[in-house]
């Protein structure tokens, strides 16, 4: 009988400890989940701001003057070729008169 | 003795145990009850532990200690290539609790420094009402401004985090996008469509939407090119406004829709001059309408392109006299009527069909419907109450009948695409989405119209020759419509327009350009004719958007091409960086 009581006592203490620690752990986990959720929300918000900033910096009416200042211009229909061969042929064809001009 | 001693020890123990007489009898029962109770308690604890172990964490309620505001989380809006047009960003909104504001005058004074445009008296009145516990001061502040206000250290003032709509492109496609109200709810344009069809999430605070972005049919590159060329045209021809739409003739997808003066979706402006000229207003379109008249005459087999019509004399109907701007004083073929844009000829073609058939044809071409796109309902067409001879005559060259340019562009799309119905849309269609093929006119008529439109640009005598872009086979029709004013038409105030399609051998896009009240400049020889302003503008737009939209120029153009537009000077400059 004494053994049973002793055993019960030990079990009581053990289960109380287990309960306490799991409760404590749960709270810690809850806190870390909340923290991570906040971090996610912050990251998502940062991403949306960065995306907006990137789009703002890449907006065409900002890029166009910059590109023009670099000496670039809108792509012309004359720069398009249906096949690579055609492009090479045209580049060669255009290069020849140019060199001739230089020779003159 | 030893057993005795043992016995006596036993006795002593038993004697101590068994001192009260009734105990030995009740002892086992009490123990049993206690044990049972204990066991029950353990069982309960055990079950609870087991249950917790099985259930895991369960629902965790996170209580964020923040004041929050009700608003709407909206999905992003992107163009057809996924480039961002509108998104939600987090912003701070300043509010006050008047009951907690200690020094009202100091607070108003300090805030007035941060917000110079603030109405100080209104704020003072709001703050003096001690019954109120909540007053918005300023919503949607950028983080820096919020920090400045925070640093003032005013008691009774606090912030709420909210979502704000941001339009990173600025005014780009402002008319199509529409705008949202202070609670981030869509009010007009695509933003309203997002609310009504796609759906928004009602949120507390600043939780971003998880919905996938809304993909529009617009192409940011093409949209910008069109807006830039229109702005250039406005200054070139000293015009009051300009508008253009580029539409895919197969799917009805609008690739670009611009109306100048532009609007900033971030700062809605209800000014009358800033109405969307593409789908929000109706105009008498003038001679471009002859495209429909000629198509009708051809489709109903009333004439062939070679049929000769007598246009020598002015046409009189009632008190009206119909004249040609540059009369040739000879009979013209239907082709010539189109190329020379003869009013008398167009009127004769419409009269050949008669008011009823002409009207039926226009209705068939969806000219009388009130169209609706994702960006909202289009302005309803204005059609004559009763159709007599004179209405038929004026409508044949685009007067006395007004409609939104996008509605006309849809009809024009059907004329060049082989006769199939085109329904304009601002939302990108999936690659595998099938387009319902509803024939409106015969393929043969469409082919003939394409030849006519191409000749109008390709031939030296054509009114649209300044719209030619080498290799792109542009075809089109000019229109110079006088603008109605008080008591008749205003002199020298015109809408000059150019309806173009390209490449004409297998049309992909229709481009409709309108220039409002252009002035005669040196470049146009003092004239306000569409052939001198709208047609070249359309040409410049096509030359710029063609490569962006991936249209290959024809072989013929390539052969005659000058080759490298990227010349040596530009190359050197680029290399130096």
Q: How confident is the model at residue B18 (pLDDT cuts 50, 70, 90)?
A: very low
Residue of A48, A65, A77 to mutate when probing chain B, most B C-beta within 10 A: A77
CB contact under 8 Å between A37 and B62, yes or no, is yes
CB contact under 8 Å between A15 and B49, yes or no, is yes
Could you report the per-residue pLDDT of B26-49, keeping only the tens digit for each?
678 889 999 999 999 999 999 988
Residue B562 has pLDDT above 50, yes or no: no
Q: Do B94 and B141 contact (CB within 8 A), yes or no? A: yes
- Chain B touched by A18 (CB under 8 Å): yes
Residue B559 has pLDDT above 60, yes or no: no
Residue B352 has pLDDT above 80, yes or no: yes
**Among B231, B245, B213, which Cα is nearest to A61's?**
B231
Q: Do B191 and B88 contact (CB within 8 A), yes or no? A: no
- Chain B touched by A13 (CB under 8 Å): no
Check B93, B259, B287, B396 and give the catalytic one: B287
% of chain A with per-residue pLDDT over 90: 46
Residue B230 has pLDDT above 80, yes or no: yes
CB contact under 8 Å between A22 and B38, yes or no, is no
CB contact under 8 Å between A78 and B561, yes or no, is yes
* pLDDT value of position B283: 92
- Chain B touched by A101 (CB under 8 Å): no
Distance, in angstroms, between B473 CA and closest chain A CA? 12
Residue B572 has pLDDT above 60, yes or no: no
Q: Do B137 and B123 contact (CB within 8 A), yes or no? A: yes
Residue B349 has pLDDT above 80, yes or no: yes
Residue B550 has pLDDT above 50, yes or no: yes
* pLDDT value of position B21: 52
* pLDDT value of position A81: 77
Q: Do B514 and B497 contact (CB within 8 A), yes or no? A: yes
Q: How confident is the model at residue B124 (pLDDT cuts 50, 70, 90)?
A: confident
Residue pairs between chains A and B whose CB atoms are closer than 8 Å: 143
% of chain B with per-residue pLDDT over 90: 33
Residue of B46, B71, B84, B541 to mutate when probing chain A, most A C-beta within 10 A: B84
- Chain B touched by A103 (CB under 8 Å): no
Q: How confident is the model at residue B156 (pLDDT cuts 50, 70, 90)?
A: confident
Q: How high does pLDDT run on average in chain B?
A: 83
* pLDDT value of position B576: 47
Residue B301 has pLDDT above 70, yes or no: yes
Residue at token pair 């070679």? B306
* pLDDT value of position A103: 37
Residue at token pair 């895919």? B248
pTM: predicted TM-score of the whole model, two decimal places: 0.78
Residue B65 has pLDDT above 50, yes or no: no
* pLDDT value of position B431: 74
Mean per-residue pLDDT, B209-222: 89
Mean per-residue pLDDT, B70-95: 88
In whole angstroms, what is the distance from residue B420 CA to residue B414 CA? 5
In whole angstroms, what is the distance from residue B577 CA to residue B570 CA? 11
* pLDDT value of position A98: 42
Distance, in angstroms, between B232 CA and closest chain A CA? 13
Residue of B90, B165, B223, B258 to mutate when probing chain A, most A C-beta within 10 A: B90
Q: How confident is the model at residue B13 (pLDDT cuts 50, 70, 90)?
A: very low
Show residues of chain A in contact with B227, CB under 8 Å.
61
Show residues of chain B in contact with A100, CB under 8 Å.
none
Q: Do B450 and B416 contact (CB within 8 A), yes or no? A: yes
Distance, in angstroms, between A81 CA and closest chain B CA? 7
Mean per-residue pLDDT, B390-417: 92
Residue B104 has pLDDT above 50, yes or no: yes
B61 catalytic? Reply is no
Residue B195 has pLDDT above 90, yes or no: no
Q: Do B534 and B497 contact (CB within 8 A), yes or no? A: yes
Residue A64 structure tokens: 């166009």
**Among B412, B126, B456, which Cα is nearest to B249's?**
B412
Mean per-residue pLDDT, B76-103: 88
- A68: nearest CA in chain B? B570
CB contact under 8 Å between A77 and B168, yes or no, is no
* pLDDT value of position B6: 43
Mean per-residue pLDDT, B542-554: 87
Exposed/middle/buried for residue A26 (C-beta within 10 Å: 0-12, 13-18, 19+): middle
Mean per-residue pLDDT, B166-177: 90
- B166: nearest CA in chain A? A52
Could you report the per-residue pLDDT of B502-515, keeping only the tens digit for each?
899 889 999 999 99
CB contact under 8 Å between A15 and B577, yes or no, is no
- Chain B touched by A39 (CB under 8 Å): no
Of A35-44, B130-139, B300-309, the poorest mean pLDDT is in: B130-139
Q: Which of B90, B555, B564 sits opposite A94 (nearest CB)?
A: B564
B572 vs B215, which has greater pLDDT? B215
Could you report the per-residue pLDDT of B430-450, keeping only the tens digit for each?
877 677 788 899 999 999 999
Q: How confident is the model at residue B536 (pLDDT cuts 50, 70, 90)?
A: very high
Residue B575 has pLDDT above 60, yes or no: no
Of A42-56, B138-152, B315-329, B473-487, the poorest mean pLDDT is in: B315-329
* pLDDT value of position B1: 41
Please enumerate in sequence order all residues whose Cβ is within 8 A of that of B135, keeping only pairs 6 or more positions apart, or say none.
Answer: B95, B96, B97, B98, B126, B127
Q: Where are the alpha helices (DSSP H) in B389-489?
A: 389-396, 405-416, 443-458
């Amino acid at each position: 009988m004494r053994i049973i009581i002793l055993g019960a006592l030990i079990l009581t203490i053990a289960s109380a400890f287990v309960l306490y620690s799991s409760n404590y752990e749960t709270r810690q986990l809850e806190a870390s989940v909340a923290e991570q959720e906040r971090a996610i929300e912050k990251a998502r918000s940062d991403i949306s701001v960065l995306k907006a900033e990137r789009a703002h910096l890449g907006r065409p009416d900002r890029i166009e003057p910059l590109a023009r200042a670099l000496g670039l211009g809108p792509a012309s229909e004359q720069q398009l070729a249906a096949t690579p061969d055609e492009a090479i042929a045209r580049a060669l064809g255009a290069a020849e008169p140019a060199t001739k001009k230089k020779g003159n | 003795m030893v057993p005795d001693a043992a016995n006596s020890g036993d006795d002593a123990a038993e004697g101590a145990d068994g001192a009260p007489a009734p105990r030995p009898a009740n002892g086992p029962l009490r123990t049993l009850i206690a044990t049972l109770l204990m066991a029950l308690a353990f069982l309960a604890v055990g079950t609870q532990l087991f249950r917790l172990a099985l259930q895991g964490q369960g629902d965790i309620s996170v209580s964020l200690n923040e004041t929050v505001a009700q608003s709407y989380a909206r999905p992003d809006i992107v163009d057809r290539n996924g480039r961002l047009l509108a998104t939600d960003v987090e912003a701070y909104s300043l509010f006050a609790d008047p009951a907690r504001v200690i020094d009202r005058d100091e607070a108003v004074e300090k805030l007035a420094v941060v917000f110079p445009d603030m109405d100080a008296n209104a704020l003072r009145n709001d703050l003096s009402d001690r019954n109120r516990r909540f007053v918005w001061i300023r919503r949607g502040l950028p983080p820096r401004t919020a920090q400045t206000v925070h640093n003032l250290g005013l008691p009774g003032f606090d912030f709420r985090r909210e979502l704000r709509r941001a339009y990173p492109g600025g005014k780009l496609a402002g008319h199509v996008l529409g705008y949202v109200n202070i609670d981030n709810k869509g009010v007009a344009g695509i933003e309203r469509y997002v609310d009504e069809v796609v759906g928004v999430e009602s949120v507390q605070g600043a939780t971003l939407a998880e919905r996938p972005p809304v993909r529009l049919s617009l192409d940011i590159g093409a949209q910008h090119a069109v807006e830039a060329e229109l702005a250039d045209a406005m200054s070139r021809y000293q015009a009051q406004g300009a508008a253009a739409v580029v539409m895919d003739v197969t799917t009805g997808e609008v690739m670009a829709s611009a109306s100048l003066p532009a609007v900033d979706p971030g700062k809605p402006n209800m000014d009358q001059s800033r109405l969307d000229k593409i789908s929000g207003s109706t105009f008498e379109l003038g001679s471009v309408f002859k495209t429909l008249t000629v198509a009708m005459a051809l489709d109903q087999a009333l004439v062939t392109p070679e049929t000769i019509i007598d246009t020598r004399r002015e046409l009189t109907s009632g008190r009206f006299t119909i004249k040609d701007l540059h009369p040739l004083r000879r009979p013209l073929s239907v082709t010539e009527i189109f190329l020379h844009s003869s009013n008398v000829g167009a009127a004769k073609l419409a009269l050949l069909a008669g008011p009823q058939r002409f009207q039926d044809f226009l209705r068939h071409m969806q000219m009388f419907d009130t169209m609706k796109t994702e960006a909202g309902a289009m302005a309803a067409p204005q059609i004559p109450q009763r159709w007599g001879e004179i209405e038929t005559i004026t409508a044949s060259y685009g007067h006395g009948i007004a409609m939104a340019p996008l509605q006309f562009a849809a009809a024009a799309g059907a004329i060049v695409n082989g006769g199939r119905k085109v329904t304009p849309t601002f939302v990108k269609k999936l690659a595998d989405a099938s387009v319902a093929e509803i024939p409106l006119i015969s393929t043969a008529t469409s082919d003939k119209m394409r030849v006519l439109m191409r000749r109008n640009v390709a031939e030296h005598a054509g009114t649209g020759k300044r719209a030619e872009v080498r290799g792109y086979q542009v075809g089109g029709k000019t229109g110079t419509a006088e603008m109605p004013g008080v008591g008749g038409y205003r002199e020298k105030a015109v809408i000059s327009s150019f309806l173009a399609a390209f490449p004409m051998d297998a049309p992909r896009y229709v481009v409709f350009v309108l220039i409002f009240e252009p002035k005669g400049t040196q470049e146009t020889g003092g004239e306000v004719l569409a052939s001198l302003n709208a047609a070249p503008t359309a040409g410049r737009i096509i030359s710029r958007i063609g490569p962006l939209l991936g249209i290959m120029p024809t072989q013929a153009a390539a052969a005659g091409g000058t080759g490298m537009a990227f010349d040596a000077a530009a190359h050197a400059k680029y290399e130096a960086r």
